[in-house]
């Protein structure tokens, strides 16, 4: 079968299931696969563990899955900008595994690279280190973090071809290339699918070998916070 799908719902067909682990790219609302997230909501899958820097905003992005109670656990580094995320966490309705942002990125990279664990100084002496293995290297103490993998990764790219080769635009790149490597199945939502051979191989950020499905979709691209200078 080819990798190109006509709609986001078709691109997810047969993949979602209850209790699955999903990686979703994005930093705030930048680089989120908004159409694939909506399709995941429509799938009805529940009790999901979602690995993402944050959970979008109320009613948009991953915030939709919080409102429908489809997420059981978040693995994130930031919970701001989403009141429902905050409310569910503080109310004991949502499990949350906090990660320093760099540690989260490295855990995803490690999972995609076949590295089961690594040591880092980040978090030593804080609640992050509780229950984790400590090890001395020289005169410094490190804690062990484990690599992360997912049943499915949904990511957003700027351009892609039918083989799944991807180019990301500016900061929308964020976690996406790492998540593409760490998912058993990776689905890419792109602004434009271009002919095979038209992407300069020197500038491809994610090779098609890491992408199993791709869909072209129009995005709303909301602005998370709009601040205007007074004139």
pLDDT at position 150 over 90: yes
pLDDT at position 225 over 80: no
Q: Do residues 53 and 26 make contact, with C-beta atoms less than 8 angstroms apart?
A: yes
* Locus of tokens 């205007």: 228
pLDDT at res. 1: 62
Q: Do residues 86 and 64 make contact, with C-beta atoms less than 8 angstroms apart?
A: no
Return the higher-pLDDT residue of 73 and 80: 73
Q: What is the pLDDT of residues 162-194, one digit of tens each?
A: 999 999 999 999 999 999 999 999 999 999 999
Q: What is the pLDDT of residues 187-203, one digit of tens each?
A: 999 999 999 999 999 99
- DSSP secondary structure letters along 40-58: HHHHT--SEEEE-SS--BT
pLDDT at position 227 over 90: no
Question: Which domains does the chain carry?
Answer: 18-98+149-216 (3.40.1080.10)
Q: Do residues 181 and 143 make contact, with C-beta atoms less than 8 angstroms apart?
A: no
pLDDT at res. 220: 82
Quickly state the pLDDT bin for 228 (edges 50, 70, 90). confident
Quickly state the pLDDT bin for 80 (edges 50, 70, 90). confident
Let me know how long the chain is. Answer: 231
Q: What is the pLDDT of residues 44-60, one digit of tens each?
A: 999 999 999 999 899 99
pTM, two decimal places: 0.94
Q: Which residues lie below 8 Å from residue 16, measured CB to CB, with a gap of 6+?
A: 40, 43, 44, 45, 152
* Locus of tokens 């992005």: 61
Q: Which residues lie below 8 Å from residue 181, measured CB to CB, with a gap of 6+?
A: 108, 109, 111, 112, 113, 210
């Amino acid at each position: 079968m080819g990798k190109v799908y006509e709609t986001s719902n078709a691109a997810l067909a047969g993949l979602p299931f209850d209790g699955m682990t999903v990686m979703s790219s994005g930093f705030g609302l930048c680089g989120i696969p908004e159409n694939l997230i909506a399709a995941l909501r429509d799938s009805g899958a529940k009790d999901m563990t979602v690995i993402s820097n944050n959970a979008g905003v109320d009613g948009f992005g991953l915030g939709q899955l919080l409102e429908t109670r489809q997420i059981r656990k978040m693995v994130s580094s930031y919970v701001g900008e989403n009141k429902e995320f905050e409310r569910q966490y503080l109310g004991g309705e949502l499990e949350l595994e906090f990660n320093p942002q760099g540690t989260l990125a490295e855990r995803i990279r490690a999972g995609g690279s076949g590295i089961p664990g690594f040591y880092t100084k980040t978090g030593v002496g804080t609640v992050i280190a509780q229950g984790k293995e400590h090890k001395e290297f020289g005169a410094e103490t490190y804690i062990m973090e484990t690599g992360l993998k997912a049943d499915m990764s949904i990511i957003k790219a700027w351009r892609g071809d039918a083989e799944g080769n991807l180019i990301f635009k500016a900061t929308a790149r964020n976690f996406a290339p790492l998540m593409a490597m760490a998912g058993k199945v990776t689905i890419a939502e792109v602004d434009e699918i271009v002919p095979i051979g038209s992407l300069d191989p020197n500038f491809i950020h994610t090779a098609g070998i890491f992408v199993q499905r791709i869909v072209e979709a129009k995005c709303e691209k909301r602005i998370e916070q709009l601040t205007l200078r007074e004139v």
